[in-house]
Amino acid sequence: MTAVISAIKTTPVLVPFKRPPVTASGSVNELPLVLLDVETDAGITGHAYLFVFLPSMLKPTVDCVAAVEELVQGMTADPEQADPMLRKRLRLLDIHGILGQVLAGLDMALWDIQAKTRELPWLNAGPEA
């Protein structure tokens, strides 16, 4: 039986660089990330993270995850079923930008759950494995 998504937890973090990279537009002193923990009714948690480019993007990304969480609670945690169902449901919206990042992070976390369920390395959890 396939696990069902029960919750998504988010943790926004700013990771400082010991040696900040310098680009043409300036130096990058910290890395803004949203950590995702997708929990299932089977007690398995999948993990992923989103690089959100700017510290000011942390809150809107966390808010978007909360909105998506309402859609996915009770949905299968099988990534081969969940991702197409979500993309079909959200087809009229622009699924690029923040929403696209959130969907990609959810997909990564679901593949992590799949790997843990099958007791395989994440790399070997896909359909070709």
At 75 the pLDDT is: 96
Q: Which CATH number covers residue 77? A: 3.30.390.10
Q: Say whether pTM exceeds 0.95.
A: no
CA 51 to the chain's CA centroid? 10
Residue 128's pLDDT is: 63
Structural domain includes residue 129: no
Would you give per-residue pLDDT tens digits along the chain (129 residues)? 689 999 999 999 999 999 988 989 888 899 999 999 999 999 999 999 999 989 999 999 999 999 999 999 999 999 999 999 998 888 877 778 899 999 999 999 999 999 999 887 766 666 665
Looking at residue 126, its amino acid is: G
Give the residues across from 7 on adjacent strands.
39
Domain-embedded: residue 108: yes
List Cβ neighbours of 83 (8 Å cut-off, separation of 6 or more). 103, 106, 107, 110
- Which residue in the block uniquely carries the two structure tokens 């909105």? 67
Helices marked H in the chain — which ranges? 58-72, 79-89, 97-118
Q: Show the domain range for 21.
A: 5-124
Distance of alpha carbon 111 from its chain centroid, rounded?
A: 10
Q: Please report whether residue 28 resides in a domain.
A: yes
Taking residue 100's Cβ as centre, other Cβ atoms within 10 Å add up to 15
Q: Say how many domains are in the chain.
A: 1
| Interior/surface letters 113-129, b for 16+ CB within 10 angstroms, e for the rest | bbbbbeeeeeeebeeee
Q: Is residue 36 part of a domain?
A: yes
Give the pLDDT score at 33: 98
| Predicted local confidence at residue 123, as pLDDT | 67
What the block records as the tokens of 114 is 């799949």
